[in-house]
Amino acid sequence: MNIASALQGLATLSWLLVVGVIALAVVRAARAKPMKGAVSITIGMIVLSLILTTVSAGLVFIQPDERGVVMSAVAAKGYREQTLQPGLRWVIPFAENVRFYSISRQTYTMSVAANEGDIQGDDSIRARTRDGQEVNIDASVIYSIDPNKIIQMHIEWQDRYQDAVVRPLARGIIRDLASQYGIEEIVSSKRAEMVQKINDELSTKLGENNLMLIDFILRDIHFTEQYAAAVEAKQIAEQNALQAEYVVQQKKQEAEQARQTAQGQADAVVIQAKGAAEARLLQAAAEAQANDLLAASLEGRPELLTYLYINKLSPNVQVMFLPSDAPFIFPLPEITTPQ
């Protein structure tokens, strides 16, 4: 409780005491028991009550989030040209009175939900898009009174600024700008652009009426049942198309994978064949080189060739050796081992 309120309470109490003293004096006088000093007490109480009433009528306490507009019977224009700032202020008792205005942020909500908006029931903004579709828009306007224009706002709107300015301006601007976009644009691609345009235009219009826009919030967009059903069907069709495309891509990937596998196997066979051929060539070259070396070592040495030939014969074969000029090899006589 501030000082101004306390003084007002004391002034009221003092007047009640005055009434009580007067009543008591009358009752005692009727019973032939006059109260001594009743007149003096009554006059003193009246004087005190007048002083308290006068002082309390002149003191005004302004809250930090408030400003006061002073209506004055002694001012030339009927009001003071400066607002009262926060704190304990003095006005001329009985000749001036104060209207209080909050400069804190206020929110005005328009919603289809019954208990969300400032007005009970469906208070959403019904608009028609450029392509003829009907939408219901939920929105909130966060605003405040311009502290530098409170007196002018009081002269023009008093305390009707919310219902007479904020609400109709917001609804009209939202309808006008929604009509400039197709429904698909409002829902997705150009929603942010539309919100920004609403914010800019609403800020300008509120400023012209001594109010400041803090923020505009597009809360939700509702469609007709027919359009909602059409959107759902379209989304299902798009999902099916995406699924079919995914299956096709998957089959293509599987086919490509099979092709790559077959190509890899074919390349492996070719590489293996090339490796075998190269190995065979290397082996043949080695054999040829070995034969050349062998031929070179046997040249002019026929007895060495005969020796090698003999070594190749099986050790179980019993033969007889003829001179080198004999062309035939005859079996050796059988040798009987003694019993």
Q: Which amino acid is located at 44 in the chain?
A: G
Ranges 58-62, 87-91, 197-201, 238-242: which has the least confidence: 238-242
- Cα(130)–Cα(182) distance, rounded to whole angstroms? 5
- Beta-strand ranges (E) seen in 182-267 are 211-223
Taking residues 38-44, what's their average pLDDT? 78
Q: Cβ distance 101 to 67 under 8 Å?
A: yes
Identify the pLDDT of residue 332.
45
Q: What is the pLDDT of residue 335?
A: 46
145 within 8 A of 153, measured Cβ to Cβ? yes
68, 4 Cβ separation under 8 angstroms: no
Write down all domains in the chain, each with its CATH number in brackets.
3-100 (no CATH), 106-223 (3.30.479.30)
Is the model's pLDDT at 55 over the cut of 60?
A: yes
Query: What's the longest Cα–Cα distance across the chain?
Result: 193
pTM: 0.61
Among the ranges 196-200, 219-223, 239-243, 282-286, which has the highest mean pLDDT value? 196-200
Q: In this predicted structure, what is the pLDDT of residue 173?
A: 95
**pLDDT value, residue 282:** 82
Distance CA 121, CA 109 (A): 12
CA angle 221, 223, 228 (to 5 degrees): 125
Tell me the pLDDT band of 117, cut-offs 50, 70 and 90: confident
In this structure, what are the phi and psi dihedrals at residue 41, rounded to the nearest 5 degrees? -60, -45
**Distance between CA atoms of residues 333 and 339, nearest Å:** 18
> Above 70 in pLDDT, residue 154?
yes
Tokens of 314: 């099986």
Give pLDDT tens digits for 229-281.
Answer: 666 566 667 777 777 788 788 888 888 888 888 888 878 787 888 888 888 88
Structure confidence at residue 16 (pLDDT): 86
Q: Tell me: the pLDDT tens digits for 85-105?
A: 999 888 898 898 999 999 999
> Quick one: pLDDT band at residue 12, thresholds 50, 70, 90?
confident
Q: Is the pLDDT of residue 291 over 80?
A: no
Query: With bands split at pLDDT 50, 70 and 90, how would you rate the model's confidence at 330?
Result: very low
The mean pLDDT value of the chain amounts to 82
Q: Which two tokens stand for residue 133?
A: 């579709």
Instruction: Answer whether 228's CB lies under 8 Å from 187's CB.
Output: no
Q: What is the pLDDT of residue 108?
A: 94
**pLDDT (mean) for 181-186:** 88
- Residue appearing with tokens 């074919």: 266
Please state, as a whole number, how many other Cβ atoms lie within 10 Å of the Cβ of residue 214: 14
- At residue 324, does pLDDT exceed 70? no
What mean pLDDT do residues 146-150 have?
Answer: 93
